[in-house]
Each structure stands twice: as structure tokens, then as C-alpha cells.
Amino acid sequence: MRSWLLSHETNERKRSSPREMLLFFFRRSVETSFPNETGQLTAGPESPEGPLSPARPAGPSIPCSPGGPAGPESPRRPRGPSLPAAPEEPGGPTMP
């Protein structure tokens, strides 16, 4: 019985066109990465929160955390103020 189910699934997969498979995977990736109308991430199959939600808090917490991550982060901090200075000198866009 189980082998018949597996062979039936593979036959169904072979019948679907590449375009249908692309649409299926595209819809699945969009559903797991973008929030729905209520503003909540639609639940992915691997976790109730969705695959991307645990990674989001890790981004802001790295600069805020004191200790180990702050050491490698400190050479990058002087580059931070230099980034706003770059738009102040727009020589390229103003010349034409």
C-alpha cells in the first residue's frame, strides 16, 4: 500500500509541468517569507513562527550586546559616521 502511494506521488510529480512546479515553489517561498494580511508570518512547515522570524532579532542584538561581538564591531563604528558624509559630497549627480 505504501509503495503504491509513493509511486503515485512520483507519477503526479512527473505529470506536473516545470512551470507548475516553479509556481508551487514560488508560492511556498512567498508564503513563508512575507506576512499575510494580519501582519503575522504564515507558518512554515519547520516551525510555528516561520523560518525567518528567529533570525530577525539576532540582527539588532549584535551591535547592542557588550563583550565579544563589540570587539570586532568597533572598527566598523568609525565607518558609520562616514556613511552620512558620503551623500553630503555628491559630486557626480550635481555636475550634469
| pLDDT tens digit sequence for 77-96 | 555 555 555 554 555 555 55
Q: How far apart are CA 78 and CA 71, in angstroms?
A: 13
Q: Nearest to residue 34, comparing CAs of 26, 42, 46?
A: 42
Domain boundaries, the chain: 1-29
Predicted pLDDT at 9 = 58
Predicted pLDDT at 57 = 47
Predicted pLDDT at 48 = 47
Predicted pLDDT at 50 = 47
**What b-and-e string marks burial along 66-76, b requiring 16 or more CB atoms within 10 Å of the CB?**
eeeeeeeeeee
Predicted pLDDT at 26 = 83
Lowest mean pLDDT among 6-15, 26-35, 72-81: 72-81
| Exposed/middle/buried for residue 51 (C-beta within 10 Å: 0-12, 13-18, 19+) | middle
Which tens digit of pLDDT belongs to each residue from 42-91?
Answer: 555 444 444 454 444 445 455 554 555 445 445 555 555 555 555 545 55
